Amino acid sequence: MKWLPYLITFKHIFILKLNDILNNLDILSPLIVLLFLLFIKSELKGGFRWFVYYIISIFLFATATEIFDIIYHHKNNLLFYHFNCISYTLILFKYFSFHIKSKFSKKLDYFFLAPFIILSILNFIYLKRTFTNYGLTSIWVSIKCLSFYSQKLSSPTRENILESRNFWIFSGLFLYFSVSFIIFITYDLLTISYLLGNYNWVVNLWMIHNVILFLSCLFYIKGIKCKE
Amino acid sequence: MQGISSDFIIVLGGTILLLCIFGFIFFFVIVYNKRYRKHEAEKVEMLKQFELEKLQSQLEIQEQTLKNISGEIHDNIGQILSLVGLQISTIPTDKPEKREQTSELLDRAIEDLRNLSKRLDTDRITSIGIIEAITHEMKLIERTGKFVTELSVEADFEMLSPDKTIILYRIIQEILNNIIKHSKATKISIQLRDNDSEDILVIEDNGIGFDMKSMEGKGLGLNNIVNRAKLIGGIATINSSINNGTSITFKIPKKITNHV
């Protein structure tokens, strides 16, 4: 049984490393996509350009937030989160305009924009610990993705969907935002729990968010490999 | 305990949600690809149909042209040559043997032209029937003295519509022309037989044959034969190997009769 202490040590190191990786997956995942983009050297044109901007945006904000946390420990970093939400919402707005043409989708944009702008202004004024804006964006993106699927089914089928770049990108977005929607709308409640000392709830929930982001990035990589 | 149950609920909830999303995407892919496969199959079918219609139009134009040429040979050139023959016979000459030779050559030319006219005349072919037309064709080939021909008739092919008869006859003509031009054969045989469901036509020669693999994608003439067979609802099978001659078999279902 001499090896038992080594095994326990190894297990502890593995869990610690795994936790580190999971905690930083929100930076690593888009970074992997960006490295893959550099490796593939895919041409940036049309809607795909805006998708790349989206990846760059989430990578930059996640990295900036992490650096801010390291330098100014325990300081309010919500400004980054609010900017991040506005940034990727606007980029996705442009990206969707290339690929979703239905009237329903345009009407949805009008309904979404008004509360989004109001919430964004309020967030900046009060800098509150709230993810309502994220929740709103998530449900908007999810419905947009469903519109994309519906549009695909109602238009003539001219391509093998598994070789379609947009299908994989939209599936990645749908996967991430539909699951994240639940996380974001419960996050405010869980934050209270965190402040009361129930750390596990919030930390584990954020790890799940990171895993979902990583899975969606695998979808994006598959999409980047496909021709437009 | 509270912590463990909370983690468990989060992981379980997240997993169920993930499975639902994956399930949805999977379901979408299945539905979409089903439509895609159906669309592709329809596209292939439309392309085939278009090719057949194009071929049919080409054949119709060709038949009309041949009919016009046949009429022109029979009614115009044939008549003129007959008059020339009459005129020659009345020209006074001190070399009658020369006049006889000229007359014989002219008679042969008139007969060749008549034969050509008969071969091209669509109405005549449909009126005498496919078997008589093939017999006539084989006799003309035999008359060249370069080939031994053999015709075996065990079926009358009476179910064939006039349009199909013409197409089948033109296919046979093309194959016989190919044998004469390229095969270096000495023997040509045609068999007409049937079974309960099909009329079967086999054309064989003992020529130099060809390598089937080397002809893949190249043999426009062979593809033309296969496509024309499809046009009359039949199937053409070509078998050949170097130095072992060539055999072409047509199978035409008896039920598909007046389609073209």
Model confidence pLDDT, tens digit, residues A126-154: 766 667 788 889 999 999 999 999 999 88
Q: Is residue B93 part of a domain?
A: no
The Cα–Cα gap between B172 and B133 comes to 10
Determine the pLDDT at residue A191. 66
Report DSSP state, residue B183. I
Q: Where are the domains of chain A?
A: 22-225
Q: Cβ of B13 and A182 within 8 Å?
A: yes
Q: Is A103 on the interface with B (CB under 8 A)?
A: no
Residue with the larger pLDDT of the pair A119 and A4: A119
Q: Is residue B238 part of a domain?
A: yes
- The residues in A 192-211 lying below 8 A from B, measured between CB atoms, are 198, 200-201, 204-205, 208
Q: Is residue B219 part of a domain?
A: yes
Is this model's pTM higher than 0.80 or not? no
Chain A residue numbers touching B21 (CB-CB < 8 A): 174-175, 178-179
**Residue A159 is which amino acid?**
E
Q: Is residue B188 part of a domain?
A: yes
ipTM of the complex, rounded to two decimals? 0.77
Q: Is B36 on the interface with A (CB under 8 A)?
A: yes
Compute the C-alpha angle B228/B119/B102, nearest 5°: 150
Chain B residue numbers touching A174 (CB-CB < 8 A): 21, 25
Query: Over 80: is that where the pLDDT of B8 sits?
Result: no
- Give the one of A149, A160, A204 whose C-beta lies nearest to B10's C-beta: A204
Determine the pLDDT at residue A51. 94
The Cα–Cα gap between B142 and B147 comes to 6
Q: Please, which pLDDT band fits residue A190 given cuts at 50, 70 and 90?
A: low
Considering its fold, how many domains does chain B have in total?
1
pLDDT digits (tens, 9 = 90+) for A69-119: 888 876 777 788 888 889 999 999 999 999 988 888 888 888 888 888 888
Contacts of A147 (CB under 8 A, 6+ apart): A100, A102, A104, A105, A108
Q: Is residue B47 part of a domain?
A: no
**Domain with B139 in it: what CATH number?**
3.30.565.10
Q: What is the domain range of residue B160? A: 129-260
Query: Over 70: is that where the pLDDT of B259 sits?
Result: no
The Cα–Cα gap between B60 and B54 comes to 10
Highest mean pLDDT among B13-27, B157-171, B212-226: B13-27
Q: Cβ of B6 and A182 within 8 Å?
A: no
Q: Is residue B187 part of a domain?
A: yes
Q: Is residue B192 part of a domain?
A: yes
pLDDT digits (tens, 9 = 90+) for B113-157: 888 888 888 888 888 888 888 998 899 888 888 899 999 998 877
Q: Is residue B95 part of a domain?
A: no
